[in-house]
Amino acid sequence: MNTITTKRFNMEDISNAINIGLIVVDADSKVLLWNNWIAKHSDIQEADALNRLLENAFSEPVSAAFMTALKNTLAYRLPVVLSTALHRTPLPLYNASEANQPQTRMYQSITITPIQSQQDESCCLIQVTDSSTSIKREKMLRSHSEILKKEATTDGLTDINNRRFFDAHYEIAVAEAKRQKHPLSIYMIDIDFFKSYNDYYGHIAGDNAIKLVAGALQSQLSRATDIVARYGGEEFVLVMPHLPQATAEQFAEKLRRAVFNLAIPHINASPFHRLTISIGLCTGIPENDDNLLNKADAALYQAKQKGRNQYISLPLCETHEYLEQ
Amino acid sequence: MSGLSELHLDALAEIFSIGAGRAALSLSEIVGDEVHISVPYVQVLNSEDINSATLSLNSGRFGAVSQHFSGPFNAEAVLLFTEEQALKIVSDMMGSQMSLEELAEFEHEAMCELGNIILNACLSAMADILHFTLESSLPHYRVASANEILHRFKDNSDQPYVMLLHIDLVIEKRHTTGNLVFLLSSASLTNLVIHVDQFLGSIA
């Protein structure tokens, strides 16, 4: 007491001015101190709380874990921490919110420390801090990082995956197919006569056409394992695991038809005068240095040579290719 | 050398097992799932003899929760888990509501609480059974490498003795092991021996 009275300020003023919650209880858990912060966030005035048992001082129940912690501190005189992560809101405390909005229960970090009263009784100091703001901050950082992550792997024009995403995904997909010995299908897709489309209809129409084609390709995918990405200007690439050769080829035809059915007029593209795509497909179980992507690209070249608006499928294994020829 | 016989160590292992049981009960209450903690054995070593083998520390980083205790004997108690284990324990306890990498602040706080529960339970069991009271600082959590940890233990001439508890912790079928290390001064060790002797005398 002496040390306090010789100070030029009152400890009670401090406890009421401080921006954390302070409660002191005695060995029977009767409330001896209830600072302004607690009064404000519990909506229970000090006068109504003093001398009541802590579990009855609030208008709602206190969490069981909090009561266990308090009992332990009173019994063993050892300090206890209750983390936000494991407890969220042990005490019925609320954050002041805008009028006519429901109040939200405050996320709390709590420390319970044993102290001695002036009568040498065993008491406990309960300190409560509001972790709502740090949770909000962490959540905000997380959602920002998710947005950035998404932006970094999405193509700005078409909203499908970009080249960066494809490069990473392709490597993983090939490794997975190698390990599990299952087939992987790569489709390289190119819009036919796109340069002349751009020249005739202008770049804005060109961009629009790319968007429509991307949408048509994307809409054909239904499995979570399948991805489509914009590979370059008017080039797209699809990665699809687990397809038998015949199914993979049927799917290539489905892709061709989906774009054909968009019926985007292209006056300079004979004989259909609409926007079409050529597809190079390579399906196989990758081993060693087999390069599905190169094969698919070679197939795409052949599809262009053979008249466009079609798919060409090349097997991964060279010998099969010779046999077919 | 340490003045603790096999009998003393058995008695301490027994006492800490009671504490571990209490800690498991508290943790079960928080997690809402069964938690088992056991203390298979207790060792007392000279701090010079402590090495990565005695602590079963491999490479990598460790989560360490420490509290300073004072009373009839003074000790710094440090609970060690590998960082990976610590993360798994806390993520199991927290459920899937928060992801760990992104909520580091909460993970540290939760780890502090986990350590606090285990340390307090072991110390309070000891205080109960050996009839004394202890005071303690608040828990502190830090992440350190095996080398940093060993260096700190060895470099402590005030606390030449190390009492080492191996801990098995099982949460939701996930089994992890950790170490609880008490750094003791010579005087503290002597006082601890006296208390254990009194206890053994009382049950003899």
Interface of A with B in 187-206 (CB under 8 A): none
Cβ atoms < 10 Å from Cβ of A211: 15
Q: Do B110 and A86 touch (CB under 8 A)?
A: yes
Of the candidates B29, B110, B124, the beta carbon closest to that of A68 is on B29
Cβ-based contacts of A116 with chain B (< 8 Å): none
Cβ-based contacts of B112 with chain A (< 8 Å): 81, 83
Q: What pLDDT band is residue B91 in, cutting at 50, 70 and 90?
A: confident
CB pairs under 8 A between A and B: 78
Active site residue A234: yes
Cβ-based contacts of B135 with chain A (< 8 Å): 77-78, 114
Query: In the numeric block, which tokens belong to residue A275?
Result: 């926007």
**Lowest-pLDDT choice from A34-38, A189-193, A235-239, B184-188:** B184-188
0.85 surpassed by complex ipTM: no
Cβ-based contacts of A85 with chain B (< 8 Å): 90, 93-94, 98, 103, 106-107, 109-110, 113
What are the residue boundaries of the structural domains of chain A, listed by start? 3-137, 154-324
Q: Do B124 and A72 touch (CB under 8 A)?
A: yes
3-state DSSP call for residue A109? strand
List Cα–Cα distances, A276 to A158, A167, A238, A301, A313, in angstroms.
18, 26, 17, 15, 17
Kindly report, residue by residue over B92-149, the tens digit of the pLDDT: 776 645 554 555 667 788 889 989 999 999 989 988 898 888 899 999 988 888 788 8
- The predicted model gives B170-197 an average pLDDT of 81
Q: Cα–Cα distance between B87 and B71 in angstroms, integer?
A: 33
Nearest alpha-carbon partner for B109 in B165, B178, B63: B63
Assigned CATH topology for domain A3-137: Beta-Lactamase (3.30.450)
Q: What pLDDT band is residue A324 in, cutting at 50, 70 and 90?
A: very low
Q: What pLDDT band is residue A99 in, cutting at 50, 70 and 90?
A: low
Residue B92: which H helix or E strand, with range? helix B83-94
**Which of the following CATH numbers is that of domain A154-324: 3.30.70.2860, 3.30.70.270, 3.40.710.10, 3.10.129.10?**
3.30.70.270
3-state DSSP call for residue B170? strand
Cβ atoms < 10 Å from Cβ of A32: 16
3-state DSSP call for residue B134? coil
A17 part of contact set with chain B, CB < 8 Å:
no
Query: In the numeric block, which tokens belong to residue A173?
Result: 């997909």
* Positive/negative CA dihedral, A273, A276, A278, A284: negative
pLDDT above 90 for A30? yes
pLDDT above 80 for A320? no
Phi and psi (nearest 5°) for A135?
A: -65, -45
Nearest alpha-carbon partner for A40 in A64, A22, A62, A14: A22
Instruction: Identify the residue with better confidence: B10 or A101.
Output: B10
pLDDT above 80 for B168? yes
> Which of A234, A235, A249, A324 is flagged as catalytic?
A234
Contacts of A117 (CB under 8 A, 6+ apart): A26, A32, A123
Cβ-based contacts of A65 with chain B (< 8 Å): 26, 29-30
- The predicted model gives A20-40 an average pLDDT of 94
Kindly report, residue by residue over B37-88, the tens digit of the pLDDT: 888 788 888 877 777 777 766 667 888 899 999 988 888 888 888 777 777 7
Residues of B near A (Cβ–Cβ under 8 Å) read 26, 29-30, 90, 93-94, 98-99, 102-103, 105-107, 109-110, 112-113, 116-117, 120, 123-124, 127-128, 133-139
Q: Specify the pLDDT at position A274.
A: 94
Q: What pLDDT band is residue A51 in, cutting at 50, 70 and 90?
A: very high
A77 part of contact set with chain B, CB < 8 Å:
yes
To the nearest whole number, what is the mean pLDDT of chain A?
A: 90
Single-letter amino acid, residue A14 = I
Give B163-166's long-range contacts (Cβ < 8 A, gap of 24+).
B163/B12, B163/B42, B163/B43, B163/B44, B163/B75, B163/B192, B164/B42, B164/B43, B164/B44, B164/B45, B164/B50, B164/B54, B164/B55, B165/B13, B165/B16, B165/B39, B165/B41, B165/B42, B165/B122, B166/B39, B166/B40, B166/B41, B166/B56
CA distance B118 to chain A (A): 11
